[in-house]
């Protein structure tokens, strides 16, 4: 398993571009199941999760091509409705094929995703919504089997705000008979883009981005054509990379309106942010200020930025309090940050971070996608060498993060643990 070797202490300088959003691309890829034809998605990031989604579409009978950010999906040959366990267990977002398959073909057999490092990750809200729309849902041998002659519009009140639950039921509703109302819907920019792209293909969705979404079923959709929005979580991670190294960087392509809560917290921590043509200039302070933050559904502070922000706060002047309201086990990175000298106390869903003047490099282990990003950020600032192991987690959600950071002057390279012979990895 590969690792990243970092020599900390370099102030990052230069310009870096944000890639397309993983969490927008994945639902859009599954949305191609809703229409027969040749679909085209641009600005799709080159990620392990995108490859997994492409394999899933191919297992359902689609033909998929990916070249320099353009994903072409042909759904003329769809012939199966089953998402196998070996794909679903590597990527929970595979569950996003459930809504389109039942909505278009009246049948879906999807392996239950199971839990992951950050929590139980149930899909009860997805299933409750499908049942409300008339689907028969059974759990058998680790699979969800959902069937319906034709889904019908329904009023669905989510018990919790769920991003993929909202996306799945939007996709189930676009071809249903009648009108569906989703209340307490997720408001993420990725949900908004999914609705916009489906509407451009003939769907009738109103209210995306708000708490109540109305979907009027239509007879059919045209193939998708879209350009995936920039990844707001990658953008936030790159801003933090400049901040934690006291650097000065221009992050290009980010949409400030997609990460207002993160920008507010960065300013509160003393990070200088200045909108520039096509992006944001970020300057890191000599030492960040301690801040308190609580993760919330969008437009609140995103849970996907909690681990990365914690890395910055480990070096803050003062004590910070973080509260993780979305997932029940999203502090695995704290134990690894402590190996770098951080002082963190976990009390249930709260983490108390007592800022220290410096971190010192050490081998650390990534446990999940955003935890791995947090450890990379800490390694950029820690004195000496940090080795972040199991970076396959990182490659699921960041397109060439090590190359992007190297382009900003970071001393970072990939190596295999077995033969870390100081070989520098040629940039791919
Ligand atoms: C999406 O996951 C994102 N993934 C996650 O990003 C993100 O952390 C999460 O939303 C929250 O913002 C994608 O979009 C592919 P949820 P999702 O359903 O939809 C509970 C990353 O790092 N819940 O919004 O799976 C659940 O347990 C990933 O890029 C139920 O109880 O998350 C959690 O506590 C990680 N029942 C809360 O809701 C359900 O049926 C939010 O989960 C569904 C969810």
CATH number (domain holding residue 307): 3.65.10.10
Same domain, 339 and 371: yes
Which residue has a Cα nearest atom 43 of ligand 1?
Answer: 123
**Domain end point (choices 197, 227, 257):** 227
Tell whether the torsion through CA atoms of 296, 297, 303 and 305 is positive or negative: negative
427 inside domain:
no
Same domain, 303 and 359: yes
* 163 CA distance to ligand 1 middle (Å): 6
**Is it true that the peptide bond before 299 is cis, omega within 30 degrees of 0?**
yes
Same domain, 100 and 10: no
**Domain end point (choices 192, 227, 262):** 227
Which atom, in ligand 1's list, is nearest to the CA of 397?
29
The CA-atom distances, in angstroms, between 342 and each of 307, 390, 393 are 13, 21, 22
Same domain, 328 and 350: yes
Which residue has a Cα nearest atom 37 of ligand 1?
Answer: 326
189 inside domain:
yes
422 inside domain:
no
**What does the pLDDT read at residue 425?**
39
Which atom, in ligand 1's list, is nearest to the CA of 121?
27
Q: At what angle do helices 22-31 and 98-105 cross, to 10 degrees?
A: 20
Same domain, 278 and 195: no
* 118 CA distance to ligand 1 middle (Å): 10
Which atom, in ligand 1's list, is nearest to the CA of 328?
34
**What does the pLDDT read at residue 119?**
87
* 238 CA distance to ligand 1 middle (Å): 22
Which atom, in ligand 1's list, is nearest to the CA of 326?
34
**What does the pLDDT read at residue 121?**
85
Top mutation candidate among 91, 124, 164, 371 for ligand 1, by most atoms within 8 Å of CB: 164
* 251 CA distance to ligand 1 middle (Å): 27
Q: Are residues 376 and 352 in contact, defined by beta-carbon separation less than 8 angstroms?
A: no
CA–CA gap between residue 122 and residue 92 (Å, rounded): 10
* 53 CA distance to ligand 1 middle (Å): 17
426 inside domain:
no
Top mutation candidate among 21, 97, 121 for ligand 1, by most atoms within 8 Å of CB: 121
Same domain, 238 and 145: no
* 134 CA distance to ligand 1 middle (Å): 24
Residues with CB under 6 A from ligand 1: 22-23, 26, 92-93, 119-126, 160, 162-165, 303-304, 326-327, 369-370, 397
Compute φ and ψ for 203, nearest 5 degrees. Answer: -75, 165
Same domain, 85 and 183: yes
Tell whether the torsion through CA atoms of 215, 298, 83 and 133 is positive or negative: negative
Same domain, 267 and 220: no
Burial (Cβ within 10 Å: 0-12, 13-18, ≥19) of residue 87 = middle
48 inside domain:
yes
**What does the pLDDT read at residue 289?**
98
Same domain, 79 and 108: yes
Which residue has a Cα nearest atom 24 of ligand 1?
Answer: 162
Which residue has a Cα nearest atom 4 of ligand 1?
Answer: 23
Same domain, 136 and 60: yes
**What does the pLDDT read at residue 422?**
40
CA–CA gap between residue 344 and residue 319 (Å, rounded): 10
Which residue has a Cα nearest atom 13 of ligand 1?
Answer: 23
CA–CA gap between residue 21 and residue 19 (Å, rounded): 6
Top mutation candidate among 19, 20, 22, 23 for ligand 1, by most atoms within 8 Å of CB: 23
Same domain, 118 and 190: yes
424 inside domain:
no
Same domain, 308 and 237: yes
Q: Three-state SS for 271?
A: coil
Q: Are residues 13 and 249 in contact, defined by beta-carbon separation less than 8 angstroms?
A: yes
**What does the pLDDT read at residue 166?**
98
**What does the pLDDT read at residue 77?**
87
* 123 CA distance to ligand 1 middle (Å): 9
**Domain end point (choices 227, 250, 280):** 227
pLDDT along the chain (428 residues), means of 10: 95 98 98 98 97 96 97 94 89 94 96 84 95 97 95 98 98 98 98 98 98 98 98 98 98 97 98 95 98 98 98 98 96 97 98 98 96 98 97 95 98 78 38
Determine the structural domain holding residue 305 and report its residue range.
3-19+230-415
425 inside domain:
no
423 inside domain:
no
Top mutation candidate among 26, 126, 144, 160 for ligand 1, by most atoms within 8 Å of CB: 160
Which residue has a Cα nearest atom 31 of ligand 1?
Answer: 122
Q: How many domains does the chain fold into?
A: 2
**What does the pLDDT read at residue 222?**
98
Q: What is the distance between the terminal CA atoms of the chain, rounded to a whole angstrom?
A: 18
- Which residues are marked as active site? 116
């Amino acid at each position: 398993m590969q690792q990243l070797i970092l020599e900390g202490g370099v102030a990052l300088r230069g310009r870096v571009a944000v890639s397309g959003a993983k969490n927008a691309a994945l639902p859009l890829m599954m949305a191609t199941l809703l229409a027969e034809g040749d679909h085209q998605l641009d600005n799709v990031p080159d990620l392990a999760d995108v490859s997994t989604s492409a394999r899933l579409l191919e297992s359902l009978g689609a033909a998929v091509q990916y070249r320099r950010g353009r994903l072409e999906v042909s759904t003329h040959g769809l012939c199966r409705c089953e998402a196998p366990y070996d794909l679903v267990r590597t990527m929970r977002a595979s569950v996003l094929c459930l809504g389109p398959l039942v909505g278009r073909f009246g049948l879906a057999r999807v392996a239950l995703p199971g839990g992951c490092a950050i929590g139980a990750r149930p899909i009860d809200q997805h299933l409750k919504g499908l049942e409300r729309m008339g689907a028969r849902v059974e759990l058998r041998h680790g699979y969800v089997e959902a069937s319906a002659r034709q889904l019908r519009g329904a009023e669905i009140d989510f018990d919790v705000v769920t991003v993929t639950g909202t996306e799945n039921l939007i996709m189930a509703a676009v071809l249903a008979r009648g009108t569906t109302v989703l209340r307490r819907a997720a408001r993420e920019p990725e949900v908004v883009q999914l609705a916009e792209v489906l509407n451009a293909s003939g769907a009738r969705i109103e209210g995306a981005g708000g708490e109540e979404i109305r979907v009027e079923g239509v007879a059919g959709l045209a193939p998708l054509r879209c350009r995936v929005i920039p990844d707001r979580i990658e953008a936030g991670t790159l801003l933090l990379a400049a901040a934690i190294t006291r650097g000065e960087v221009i992050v290009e392509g980010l949409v400030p309106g997609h990460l207002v809560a993160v920008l507010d917290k960065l300013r509160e921590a003393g990070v200088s942010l200045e909108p520039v043509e096509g992006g944001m200039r970020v300057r890191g302070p000599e030492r960040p200020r301690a801040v308190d933050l609580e993760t919330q559904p969008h437009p609140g502070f995103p849970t996907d930025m909690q681990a990365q922000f914690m890395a910055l706060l480990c070096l803050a002047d003062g004590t910070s309090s973080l509260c993780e309201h979305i997932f029940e086990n999203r502090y695995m990175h704290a134990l690894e940050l402590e190996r770098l000298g951080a002082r963190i106390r976990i009390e249930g869903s709260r983490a108390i971070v007592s800022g220290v003047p410096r971190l010192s490099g050490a081998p650390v282990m990534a446990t999940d996608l955003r935890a791995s990003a947090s450890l990379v950020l800490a390694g950029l600032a820690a004195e000496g060498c940090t080795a972040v192991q199991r970076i396959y987690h990182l490659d699921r959600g960041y397109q060439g993060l090590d190359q992007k950071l190297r382009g900003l002057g970071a001393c970072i390279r990939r190596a295999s643990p077995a033969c870390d012979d100081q070989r520098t990895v040629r940039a791919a």
